[in-house]
Amino acid sequence: MDSIIVRGNGPLKGQIPIAGAKNACLTLMPATLLSEEPLTLTNAPRLSDIKTMSQLLSSLGAEVTSLQDGKVLAMSSHDINNHVADYDIVRKMRASNLVLGPMLARLGHAVVSLPGGCAIGARPMDLHIFGLEKLGAEIELKDGYLHAKAPNGLKGAVIELSFASVGATENILMAATLAKGTTVIKNAAREPEIVDLATCLRAMGAQIEGDGTSDITVQGVDRLHGATHPVVTDRIELGTFMLAPAFCGGEVELLGGRMDLVESFVAKLHEAGIDVEETDKGLKVARKNGRVKAVDVTTEPFPGFPTDLQAQFMAMMCTAEGTSVLEEKIFENRFMHAPELVRMGANIEVHGGTATVHGVETLKGAPVMATDLRASVSLILAGLAAEGETVVSRVYHLDRGYERVEEKLSNVGAHIERVSE
Ligand code: UD1
């Protein structure tokens, strides 16, 4: 298993290219199941989660060809010959559940393993099931698998979600494109990944309005056709790398960065005393002098502060001037990075969904363990700002969501290397 070694760093300078969004790509890929014609995604990120989704789609009979070193994914679901998404693949990655809606809509039946809990919380699928049942699906849980069928086809319905779940909105949206009549998803998630999915589905011939707002309306069509679609910029990778110069000082330009993807996050960076400006090629982040200021953060659905940037922001707050309070409102157990940061000298108290971070002058390098994807990158950022050497082990989490992290950071002057054990 690989580890990442990080040494405390001076100011960073240069440019970091931002990849296509993992979370968008993982929902765009299952959209291939909706059509017999090919779907091609450009600007795809090169990540292990994308390989897992390719394996899952291939196991269902789809063809997935990775071109241009993985940046282009050419997919065809002409011959879907299996409707069972096996536990062995689904358990590796929760986003596997996004094949449920498309398979049900296209084939009229699907069997998908329940993903089970994960390190950051229980993460049930009740809202996905609720929405698909409203569309006329019959869903039963047997032997750990959801058995879904739509003997009379799917029919449009008004579906009001009790929580604006990203995954549930995506599954229902995809299923509704081929349902008969009109579907309205109320309290829909508004994340940019939903807008990206809707844009791709429209390119495939779907009739969708209102994506990016809380009410999405879908007029079902008989069939969808092929399309080519570029994956939207990864706002979480963007936010993560924006924090590198914020931590270490210096000035870094994030190529492909878009302000509209990270507005609430940028507002918090400004409060902390970090400069962010738009450039022709993306966003430029600079911290010139002194410590960052402590800032309070509450995670919320988009356009609020993203839960996927909470761990990284907490790492920065560890050396801020003053005390910051971070409230996690999306996942119940998403502070596993806190004890690791404490091993590096941070002063953090966690009570339920609230973490109070008392800023200290400096962190000290230490051996630490990555517990989930975003936690692992928060420890790398902390290591860049710490005195001495930090060894982050169990970095397979990192490879699920960050493309060539050590290369991107060392190109702007960070002391970071990967070692294989
Ligand atoms: C997606 C992202 C994940 C991000 C999250 C929130 C992907 C692959 N993953 O996850 O990185 O952290 O959005 O922005 O895109 N919930 C239910 N019942 C359900 C579904 C969800 O109670 O049926 C709850 C979850 O337990 C959680 C909350 O809703 O507390 C948010 O989940 P959701 O928005 O669905 O996130 P994901 O789609 O799993």
Measured from the CB, is residue 363 less than 6 Å from ligand 1? no
Measured from the CB, is residue 310 less than 6 Å from ligand 1? no
Tell me what pLDDT residue 421 has.
73
**What is the tens place of the pLDDT at every residue in 260-302?**
999 999 999 999 999 999 999 999 999 977 889 999 999 999 9
Nearest CA to ligand 1 atom 20: 125
**What is the tens place of the pLDDT at every residue in 158-216?**
999 999 999 999 999 999 999 999 999 999 999 999 999 999 999 999 999 999 999 99
pLDDT at residue 120 tops 80: no
pLDDT at residue 10 tops 90: no
The band of 58, judged by pLDDT with boundaries at 50, 70 and 90, is: very high
Q: Which of 134, 193, 330 to mutate to test the pocket of ligand 1 (most atoms within 8 A of CB)?
A: 330
Measured from the CB, is residue 396 less than 6 Å from ligand 1? no
pLDDT at residue 237 tops 80: yes
Taking the CA of residue 373 as reference, the ligand 1 atom at the shortest distance is 11
Q: Is the dihedral of CA 412, 400, 124, 204 positive or negative?
A: positive
How far is CA 251 from its chain centroid?
A: 26
- 163 CA distance to ligand 1 middle (Å): 10
Taking the CA of residue 129 as reference, the ligand 1 atom at the shortest distance is 23
The band of 9, judged by pLDDT with boundaries at 50, 70 and 90, is: confident
How high is the mean pLDDT of the chain?
95
Measured from the CB, is residue 237 less than 6 Å from ligand 1? no
Measured from the CB, is residue 165 less than 6 Å from ligand 1? yes
Nearest CA to ligand 1 atom 32: 165
Residue type, 228: T
Residues with active-site annotation: 118
CA end-to-end distance (rounded Å), the chain: 6
Is the preceding peptide bond at 124 cis, omega within 30 degrees of 0?
Answer: no
Measured from the CB, is residue 127 less than 6 Å from ligand 1? yes
Tell me what pLDDT residue 105 has.
97
Q: Which of 28, 166, 232 to mutate to test the pocket of ligand 1 (most atoms within 8 A of CB)?
A: 166
Q: Tokens at residue 159, please?
A: 């579906």
- 44 CA distance to ligand 1 middle (Å): 22
Measured from the CB, is residue 168 less than 6 Å from ligand 1? yes
pLDDT at residue 116 tops 70: no
Measured from the CB, is residue 181 less than 6 Å from ligand 1? no
Most confident of 9-13, 246-250, 362-366: 362-366
Q: Which of 52, 133, 165 to mutate to test the pocket of ligand 1 (most atoms within 8 A of CB)?
A: 165
Measured from the CB, is residue 129 less than 6 Å from ligand 1? no
- Whether 397 contacts 376, CB under 8 Å: yes
Taking the CA of residue 130 as reference, the ligand 1 atom at the shortest distance is 23
Q: Is the dihedral of CA 93, 110, 127, 224 positive or negative?
A: positive
Measured from the CB, is residue 125 less than 6 Å from ligand 1? yes
Out of 73-87, 111-125, 404-418, pick the least confident: 111-125
**What is the tens place of the pLDDT at every residue in 306-360?**
999 999 999 999 999 999 999 999 998 899 999 999 999 999 999 999 999 999 9
Distances in Å between the Cα of 232 and the Cα atoms of 28, 73, 262, 339 are 10, 14, 13, 34
Could you give the CA distance from residue 113 to residue 128 in angstroms, rounded to a whole number? Answer: 13
Nearest CA to ligand 1 atom 28: 330
The phi and psi torsions of 348 (rounded to 5 degrees) equal -130, 135
Q: What share of the chain is helix, strand, coil (3-state, %, to 5)?
A: 35, 30, 35
For 228, half-sphere exposure in the C-beta direction (CA atoms, 13 angstrom radius) is: 5
Q: Tokens at residue 63, please?
A: 């063809």
Nearest CA to ligand 1 atom 37: 167
Q: Tokens at residue 180, please?
A: 């008969």
Q: Tokens at residue 274, please?
A: 């970090």
Tell me what pLDDT residue 117 has.
60
Strands 415-420 and 2-7: antiparallel
Instruction: Please state the rounded mean pLDDT for residues 252-266.
Output: 98
Taking the CA of residue 49 as reference, the ligand 1 atom at the shortest distance is 8
pLDDT at residue 1 tops 90: no
Q: What is the pTM of this model?
A: 0.96
Q: What are 46's strand-pairing partners?
A: none
Nearest CA to ligand 1 atom 13: 166
Measured from the CB, is residue 404 less than 6 Å from ligand 1? no
Residues present in the chain in total: 421
Tell me what pLDDT residue 243 has.
97
- 137 CA distance to ligand 1 middle (Å): 21
- 95 CA distance to ligand 1 middle (Å): 10
Nearest CA to ligand 1 atom 7: 23
Could you give the CA distance from residue 137 to residue 157 in angstroms, rounded to a whole number? Answer: 12
Measured from the CB, is residue 299 less than 6 Å from ligand 1? no
